[in-house]
Amino acid sequence: MINRLLVANRGEIARRVFATCRALGVETVAVHSDADAAEPFVAEADHAVRLPGAAPAETYLRVELILDAARRSGADAVHPGYGFLAENAEFAAAVTDAGLTWVGPPAKVIAAMGDKLAAKALLAEAGVPMLPSWTDTDAVTDFPVLVKASAGGGGRGMRIVRDAGGLAEAVASARREAAAAFGDGTVFIERYVERGRHVEVQIFGDAHGRVVALGDRECSIQRRHQKIVEEAPAVVPERVRTALHEAAVAAGRAVDYLGAGTVEFLLAPGGEFFFLEMNTRLQVEHPVTELCTGLDLVGLQLLVAEGEPLPATLPVSTGHAIEVRLCAEDATAGWRPATGTLHRFVVPQVAAEFGGLADPGLRLDSGVVAGSVVGVHYDSMLAKLIAWGRTRAEATRLLSSALARAELHGVTTNRDLLVRVLRSPAFAAVEIDTGFLDRHAEVFAPLLAADRSPLTALAAALASAAGRRAAAPVLAGLPSGWRNVPAVPQVTRFSGPDGAVEVRYRLDRRGGLVEWSAERSAAASTAADATVERRAVALVEATPGRVVLDVDGVRCAYRVHRVGSAVFVDGPDGAASLAELPRLPLPTAEVAAGSLLAPLPGAVARVHVQVGQRVSAGDPLLTLEAMKLEHPVVAPTDGVVAELPVPAGGQVRTGAVLAVIDTAEETP
Give the pTM: 0.86
DSSP secondary structure letters along 149-214: ESS--TTTT-EEE-SGGGHHHHHHHHHHHHHHHHS---EEEEEPPTT-EEEEEEEEE-TTS-EEEE
10 Å CB burial of residue 475 (0-12, 13-18, 19+) is: exposed
Q: Report pLDDT for 83.
A: 80
Q: Where are the beta strands (DSSP E) in 234-380?
A: 259-267, 273-279, 320-327, 329-330, 336-337, 340-341, 344-346, 350-353, 361-366, 373-374
Q: Phi-psi region for residue 598, left (φ > 0), alpha (ψ -120 to 50) or beta?
A: beta
Q: Are the C-beta atoms of 620 and 634 separated by less than 8 Å?
A: yes
How far is the CA of 644 from the CAs of 599, 614, 625, 636, in angstroms? 16, 13, 17, 15
Q: Report pLDDT for 514.
A: 85
Q: Are the C-beta atoms of 305 and 100 separated by less than 8 Å?
A: no
Query: Cα separation of 135 and 186, whole Å?
Result: 9
Q: Which helix (H) or strand (E) holds 121?
A: helix 116-125
Q: Are the C-beta atoms of 152 and 182 separated by less than 8 Å?
A: yes
Angle at 558 (CA atoms; ends 555, 562), nearest 5 degrees = 160
- DSSP conformation class of 302: H
Strand 27-32 with 4-7, pairing: parallel
Listed in sequence order, the residues at least 6 apart from 152 whose beta carbon sits closer than 8 Å to its beta carbon are: 87, 178, 181, 182, 184
Q: Report pLDDT for 664.
A: 72
Q: Are the C-beta atoms of 367 and 41 separated by less than 8 Å?
A: yes
Euclidean distance between the first and the last CA atom of the chain, given in angstroms as a whole number = 76
- How many other CB atoms are there within 10 angstroms of residue 621's CB atom? 22
Q: At what angle do helices 415-422 and 392-405 cross, to 10 degrees?
A: 150
Mean pLDDT by 10 residues, the chain (668 residues): 97 98 98 95 98 86 96 98 91 98 97 88 93 88 87 75 90 85 83 93 98 98 94 97 98 97 95 94 97 97 98 95 97 91 97 91 97 90 97 98 98 97 98 96 95 94 91 66 68 89 89 87 48 82 96 96 97 95 69 74 86 88 75 85 87 83 65
Q: Report pLDDT for 636.
A: 84
363: β partners? 352, 386
591: β partners? none
- DSSP conformation class of 476: T
Query: Cα separation of 283 and 304, whole Å?
Result: 17
State which amino acid sits at residue 344.
R
- How many other CB atoms are there within 10 angstroms of residue 546's CB atom? 14
Q: Are the C-beta atoms of 150 and 116 separated by less than 8 Å?
A: yes
Q: Are the C-beta atoms of 558 and 567 separated by less than 8 Å?
A: no
Q: Report pLDDT for 528.
A: 42
> In 3-state terms, what secondary structure has residue 432?
coil
Q: What is the pLDDT of residues 308-325, one digit of tens each?
A: 999 999 999 999 999 999
